[in-house]
Amino acid sequence: MADDHGHDHDHDHATVAPKDPNEQAALARDIGEELTEIFVRYVQGDVPFEDMTFLTFETLENLSIVASGEYELDYDEDQEYEIEEATEEQEDLAQEPSRDGD
């Protein structure tokens, strides 16, 4: 069914599994760092204004996707290692082994 503006609202929306709020916060921090880097590169003259505005918009779109929960994380081998390394670091800080007994 279309509304007064011609938008169809009867289409099915895929159900998105709830995301971990801590994961979303970490992703938002990463996106903020990316945005900061874009701004710094612009101020340093490494990125033209047009590119900076495009990259900023693209980054804000990514933030919107994270906030909506409509994303899937892909891990490559390097990222998997970083996760294992972070777990070990947390264990050292907590002075407790993980549930896996590593």
Amino acid 66: pLDDT? 93
Amino acid 14: pLDDT? 52
> 10 Å Cβ neighbour count for 30?
13
pLDDT beneath 70: ranges in the chain: 1-16, 75-102
The residues spanned by each domain of the chain are 21-94
Q: Which amino acid is located at 21 in the chain?
A: P
Amino acid 15: pLDDT? 58
Amino acid 11: pLDDT? 44
Report phi then psi at 33, rounded to 5: -65, -40
Amino acid 45: pLDDT? 96
Amino acid 74: pLDDT? 78
Q: Is the dihedral of CA 9, 12, 18, 23 positive or negative?
A: negative
Q: Which helix (H) or strand (E) holds 24?
A: helix 21-43
